[in-house]
Structure 1
Amino acid sequence: MFLYEINENHVTIEELLRNHWRLGKKLVHELRMAKAITLANDELIQWNTPLQAGSIIKVAFSIPTSNYKPTPICAIDVVYEDDHCLIVSKPKGMSTHPNDARDTHTCMNHVMAHIKEQGGIYAEHIHRLDKGTQGLLLVAKHPLAKSIFDRMIEEKSIIRMYAAEVQGNIRGASGTISEPIGKDRHHATKRVVSKSGQHAVTHYEVVARYKNSCVVHLILETGRTHQIRVHLAYIGHPIIGDTMYGARVTASDDYELHAIQLEFDHPFLNKRIIVKDKQ
């Protein structure tokens, strides 16, 4: 259950759900059948009744239990949180979510420990980060938020920024890599640029230059597996240490890719959210 303040005049509940939040038909029908939306004082309201700006409505609905087994304590940093979502900083070397029942120390297992401490039962990630990538991960705290944030990811209205140091110096200050990505037939986990692959777009900007490398900030339009790593290697500038994609071996024998910022218009709080991770 949560309260929501209508922020413009003459908006109906029907318009809020279908045009503003743009929920799916099935979910809208379920909310209608459950009489899930009332005024703040629990008074029923017709869905075609225009409301004035400042009106407070109550949205109440059943919440399913997520299947992630909570860790004993949450050992990851919660960078941002409200009633609808949270943003955590996933450590490098930790999977976003379990792949089987034995996988109980992923980022979502730690998130579930945090949710459980608050008396909650639901948490679902909106996007994912590769195991070797650290940084910000957006998590929904109820199904309505999940539905809306999923749609926002599809429509590219959640801006995800990453930072990486790459081999060599990229020509020019910025650019866009628009190349489809598919599976490598010769390597189970590797991805390649392929004409038969999925549409993938990465924007980059050079923010620092050194003798034999440069630091780039990258914004994803799509979220393909290993997208940034594949695209940077494709233009001849793999992430330093990313030997899978052609980089030289380093002392750490590993690459560094960091999800440093998330930015979006919050659908329930009616404000712009910008969250930055520690670098």
Structure 2
Amino acid sequence: MNHTFSYVVMEDGLTIETILQQKWKLGKKLIHDLRMQKAVSDINGELLQWKATLQKGDILVFKWEGEASNYLLSEQIPLYVAYEDDYLLIASKPRGMATHPNEAGQNHTFMNTVQNYLSNKGQSYGEHVHRIDEGTKGLVVIAKNPIVKGMLDRMLENKEIVRTYEALVEGQVKNNHGTIRAAIGSDRHHPTRRRVSPSGQLAITHYEVVGRHPNFTKVQAILETGRTHQIRVHFAHIGHPIVGDDLYGAKKTPTKTYELHAFKVQFVHPITGEMIVVEDKR
């Protein structure tokens, strides 16, 4: 498919090469593809030299052939978009829906709905930068082209994308804020459950109490690491499983759902440099 986007140079003295390699830190293969396809021109369509010095305010137009996303289209739910621009979108995944297909032919996941939304706008690339559990609702960041995907992947790896969760947990959490440090590994007695294990992967969760009820505590949590079921495992570990999360020892609820919401995401936009702060208002 044909990818196109424009970029306004933010400082004097840069070259296309330094922007791609040092500022954006793109992979060698993608840089090679862009070079071979003569993918960068000015606003008038004239090709630019990669080592030529650019000035602040110059507009680079990227146009190249690259991969498309191959999710089947689905109109199962209307997509709630919390933020969108030419480079990325942030949308809210409903509770009870997988983030992406796990096998060929699946068309009932969040990314199938995203693909349908983008397809209706004439776009055929959309890839999630992270995922959230099927039973968790909330915000997912989606890149709209492979360059932005590479940049956001690296930002996630470097902990430059901050995701805040809100949870209702059983009982009274003693401290108003704190950090849970407990390694997480697989539970050999259950195919999907995780457990705190000394031989597991390092896992760190920071939390703050934002509300109290005689039987429950509302907390906000930020993950320093991104292990599977991390918040669920950690709060169960300190004796306060998430309300409704019977997989981790909470009482069953009539809805058979648990109260965990990825409600806020914030990061510096990889292209524009703006601070993006988005909350899920649903």
Q: Which of 109, 122, 126 is residue 125 of structure 2 equivalent to? A: 122
Contact 1:36 1:60 in 2 (8 A): yes
1:122 partner amino acid: Y
CA displacement at 1:171 relative to structure 2? 2.1
- Structure 1 segment 120-159 matched on structure 2, within 5 A: 120-159=123-162
Question: Is structure 2 residue 52 aligned with structure 1 residue 34?
Answer: no
TM-score by length of 1: 0.96
Structure 1 partner of 2:23: 20
Confirm or deny that 1:210 pairs with 2:213. yes
RMSD: 1.4
> Measured at CA, do residues 62 and 73 of structure 1 come closer, stay the same or move farther in structure 2, by a change above 3 Å?
farther
Task: Give the corresponding residue for 2:102.
Answer: 99
Deviation at 1:212, TM superposition (A): 2.0
CA distance in 1, matches of 2:76, 2:97: 16
The aligned amino acid for 1:134 is: K
Answer whether contact 2:165 2:221 (CA < 8 A) is retained: yes
Q: What is the TM-score normalised by the length of structure 2? A: 0.95
**Shift, 1:158, TM fit:** 0.6
- Of 145-154 and 56-65, more deviation after overlay is shown by 56-65
Q: CA deviation at 1:26?
A: 1.9
- Unaligned segments of structure 2, at least 5 residues: none
Of stretches 107-116 and 166-175 in structure 1, the one that deviates more from structure 2 is 166-175
* Matching of residues 53-202 of structure 1 within 5 Å: 53-72=56-75, 75-202=78-205
Residue 137 of structure 2 aligns to a residue in which SS?
Answer: strand
Query: Aligned pair count?
Result: 279
Gaps of 5+ in 1: none
**Partner residue of 1:52?**
55
The 1:74/1:243 distance shift into structure 2, 3 A limit, reads closer
Aligned to 2:233: 230
| 8 A Cα contact 1:73 1:114, kept in partner | no
Deviation at 1:4, TM superposition (A): 0.4
Q: Which moved more, 1:93-102 or 1:184-193?
A: 93-102
Q: Kindly tell me: are residues 72 and 245 of structure 1, through their superposed partners in 2, closer, same or farther at Cα, counting changes over 3 Å?
A: closer
2:233 alignment partner, SS class: helix
Q: Structure 2: how far apart are the matches of 1:120 and 1:91?
A: 23
Work out the CA distance in 2 between the residues paired with 1:121 and 1:212. Answer: 48
Counterparts of 1:202 and 1:48 in 2: how far apart (Å)?
44
**Counterpart Cα distance in 1 of 2:20 and 2:258:** 43
Sequence identity percentage: 51
Q: In 2, distance between residues paired with 1:112 and 1:250?
A: 33
8 Å CA contact retained: 2:79, 2:117: no
Specify the SS of the correspondent of 1:144: helix
Cα deviation code 1:35-85 (max 9, x no counterpart):
111222222222222211111111112132211000146522112111111
Q: What residue in structure 2 maps to residue 249 of structure 1?
A: 252
1: distance between equivalents of 2:7 and 2:177?
40
